[in-house]
Structure 1
Amino acid sequence: MGPLMLDLEGFELTSREVDMLQNPLLGGIIFFSRNYASPQQIAELSQAVREVAGDDILIAVDHEGGRVQRFREGFTSVPAMATILQNAKDLSEAKASAYRWGSLIAIEVQAVGIDFSFAPVLDLGNEISRVIGDRAFSTKVDEVIELGREFIQGMNDFGMAATAKHFPGHGSVEADSHVDIPIDERPREQIISQDMRVFAELAQHYQAVMPAHVIYPSVDKQPAGFSELWLQDILRGQLDFDGVIFSDDLSMKGAEVVGGYYERAKAAVKAGCDMVLVCNHPKEGCELMQQFDFEQAPKSSQRLERMKGQALNYSLTQVQQSDDWLRLESDLNLDKLV
């Protein structure tokens, strides 16, 4: 399976994209809101991608809920993760709700032919962070661990692999790595014992991880996603994680410190990423595909295979009439939330 994940321009494949999908370096496609018109249309686009690229292609989306839900009309409105605990009478009820929301996302996203959503966010929801905020389950480490574990289990039980983000934690810096280069100046011990403890506790539960474009100078001068120390020594070595490592989007401002797109991709792969993402920059993505001349880790393809959806369907309408979906609709009181 190829090491690049790119995106598409609109509702249907262009001739350029048909050529792109046949390149063996392309291993994944990520959908955005601009690709979505209706459940039927996005299912047809998923099918079209697989018809050209083959069944090995991974199709992904950012479908966390709250601010980050790419598909709206026809899909269940998923709340921001912070509201799960806020609206529950206690942690036990919140855990049950987290499990159900993970389950529902897995059911609906796979119902339109998409393998997985890049979720959950396991960052701490500290007020200092502009980009994380209510995307996080809680501000407290133990609560994020408990709710994150249940959410992941819900995804897994309904056939979807989970991607934990943004290792080792983006929630304790103010800057947004989409538009800035965040630097977390805290001591190593504080980062490890607080933010990273969530990822450490759940390392054998999630199937993939996405590192942050954040620099932690007390640990390494490189952003985590380009750091062999973070990805090889700590994540693979100390946490014994053997799942997929996806880069965060290489077009983000937080990645610019490494150089151009070629340098970013090379540094990410060298650090330990199994697949690298270039989003919203089709010209640069295609240029990188032409320039890409470095090898994946020997186990990358095997790891990436585990991200395939296990319950793929191409009819959201049909799936929303299933017993599993109707049970979740009842348990989550969806009529009050949609």
Structure 2
Amino acid sequence: MTEHAPIVLDIAGLSLTADDRRRIAHPLAGGLILFARNWADRAQLASLCAEIKSLRPDLLICVDHEGGRVQRFRTDGFTHLPAMRAFGELWMRDAMGATDAATAAGYVLGAELRACGVDLSFTPVLDLDWQEEMGASRSTVIGDRAFHRDPRVTALLAKSLMHGLLQAGMANCGKHFPGHGFVAADSHVDIPVDRRSRKAILADDAAPYGWLSSSLASVMPAHVVYPKVDSVPAGFSRIWLEDILRGRLGFQGAVFSDDLSMAGARQIEGRTVTYVAAAQAALGAGCDMVLLCNQSEPEGGRILDDLLDGLLAARDAGQWRPSDASEQRRLALLPLAPPPSWDALMTEARYLRALDLLP
């Protein structure tokens, strides 16, 4: 039977508990996502990551660490990175300088995380900055997390940031396909609906994914419904993931679902589904991995156990088929070389120059 570890889970605290260790050893656990609650200082983070890797060297340690208001680690030497809109604003004054600054930001972001043992940050945001153009009627959950309103500028700045990540030995994840910036609702607490035509979305919000198809290592779809294309959110839609993202746009990397605990993830065509059913729907639509976040504390993590064991039972019952291709795409996101130590990074000429270039 094909080994395929598609579940990215979370942990509650600063160190691993016996339950965490048991879940990490589960055959369907393929990744772990960290949050601010898992951070005290660099030594603690490095120790936590080292323990995780001692148990599962192949486990992908992830974090949402973009800069601006979405940056999980902010103290003990971590650079406060600007929101991505700052690079779009710099572009309007100095386009070439903005691309160099975005590369510098990617390098600082990736190098600092890698020096502490983190493998992957879910960045860059490829959503367009509709809020700047249309005000509060558009997405506040995206807002200044986006580079720019123009998809061409967004693609160029994102590619520059991804180049910096690559220099630091880190892969990337473009999000939220095909675009979350146009809708006002927050998919964490609601089910956003974007009623534009497929043609309009592909020509505008989704355009960066085509232009970056050979540069993107992974993609995260939006928990947004685009009813003129499909009746289910993009992360559960074979039309969006297989026909458009992989077929029309030529993307070859890994696809992560967004967090299955979000409101937009468990309402499918008007029905509230279980976490296991949501995971099966996402995997069946073309996701390689599924995230379930912030469930390690409630009821002792019962929901995490239910997903791990429920999806395993579904596999054994033939209701879900593991994918060797998906597993290979997961493994391809792991860093290829060990990172420098933090102390070595602090005196590295490229790192020091990158700090000087940040806006």
Helix, strand or coil: the match of 1:299?
A: helix
Helix, strand or coil: the match of 1:222?
A: coil
Q: 1:207–1:307: 8 Å Cα contact kept in structure 2?
A: yes
Structure 1 distance, partners of 2:187, 2:199, is 23
**Residue type of the partner of 2:153?**
E
Are residues 1:320 and 2:330 paired? no
Determine the structure 2 residue equivalent to 1:81: 84
Structure 1 distance, partners of 2:215, 2:49, is 27
Determine the structure 2 residue equivalent to 1:136: 146
Q: 1:47–1:113: 8 Å Cα contact kept in structure 2?
A: yes
Query: What whole-Å deviation, never above 9, does each CA across 1:167-219 have from its counterpart, x for those lacking one?
Result: 00000000010010000011221111110111111111110000000000010
Q: 2:210–2:250: 8 Å Cα contact kept in structure 1?
A: no
1:314: Cα distance to partner?
A: 7.5
Deviates more, 1:272-281 or 1:313-322: 313-322
After TM superposition, the score normalised by the length of structure 2 is: 0.90
1:311: Cα distance to partner?
A: 4.4
Alignment of 1:42-57 (within 5 A): 42-52=45-55, 54-57=56-59
Determine the structure 1 residue equivalent to 2:63: 61
Determine the structure 1 residue equivalent to 2:134: none
Determine the structure 2 residue equivalent to 1:4: 7
Q: Taking structure 1 as reference, are residues 312 and 175 closer, same or farther at Cα in structure 2, changes over 3 Å only?
A: farther
**Equivalent position to 1:286, from 298, 301, 305:** 305
**Equivalent position to 1:150, from 157, 160, 177:** 160
Are residues 1:265 and 2:279 paired? yes
Structure 1 distance, partners of 2:352, 2:337, is 17
Are residues 1:205 and 2:208 paired? no
Determine the structure 2 residue equivalent to 1:300: 326
Structure 2 distance, partners of 1:209, 1:139, is 20
Are residues 1:18 and 2:21 paired? yes
Alignment of 1:235-274 (within 5 A): 235-258=245-268, 259-274=273-288
Are residues 1:224 and 2:204 paired? no
Structure 2 distance, partners of 1:148, 1:122, is 7
Q: 2:101–2:354: 8 Å Cα contact kept in structure 1?
A: no
Q: 1:158–1:311: 8 Å Cα contact kept in structure 2?
A: no
**Residue type of the partner of 2:326?**
S
**Equivalent position to 1:90, from 90, 94, 98:** 94
Identity %: 44
Structure 1 distance, partners of 2:346, 2:64, is 20
Are residues 1:121 and 2:125 paired? yes
Determine the structure 1 residue equivalent to 2:177: 167
Structure 2 distance, partners of 1:324, 1:42, is 24
Structure 2 distance, partners of 1:85, 1:193, is 20
Helix, strand or coil: the match of 2:141?
A: coil
Structure 2 distance, partners of 1:290, 1:204, is 36
Helix, strand or coil: the match of 1:29?
A: strand
Query: What whole-Å deviation, never above 9, does each CA across 1:152-180 have from its counterpart, x for those lacking one?
Result: 11111221111000000000000010010
Helix, strand or coil: the match of 1:59?
A: strand
Are residues 1:35 and 2:38 paired? yes
Are residues 1:99 and 2:98 paired? no
Q: 1:114–1:312: 8 Å Cα contact kept in structure 2?
A: no
1:96: Cα distance to partner?
A: 0.9
Consecutive unaligned residues of structure 2, counting only runs of 5 or more, are: 132-137, 297-301
Are residues 1:310 and 2:336 paired? yes
Q: 1:212–1:248: 8 Å Cα contact kept in structure 2?
A: yes
Structure 2 distance, partners of 1:30, 1:159, is 18
**Residue type of the partner of 1:86?**
E
After TM superposition, the score normalised by the length of structure 1 is: 0.95
Q: 1:110–1:313: 8 Å Cα contact kept in structure 2?
A: yes
Structure 1 distance, partners of 2:100, 2:149, is 19
Helix, strand or coil: the match of 1:230?
A: helix
Structure 2 distance, partners of 1:10, 1:317, is 26
How well do the aligned residues superpose, as a CA RMSD in angstroms? Answer: 1.4
Helix, strand or coil: the match of 2:278?
A: helix
Q: 1:30–1:60: 8 Å Cα contact kept in structure 2?
A: yes
Structure 2 distance, partners of 1:329, 1:144, is 22
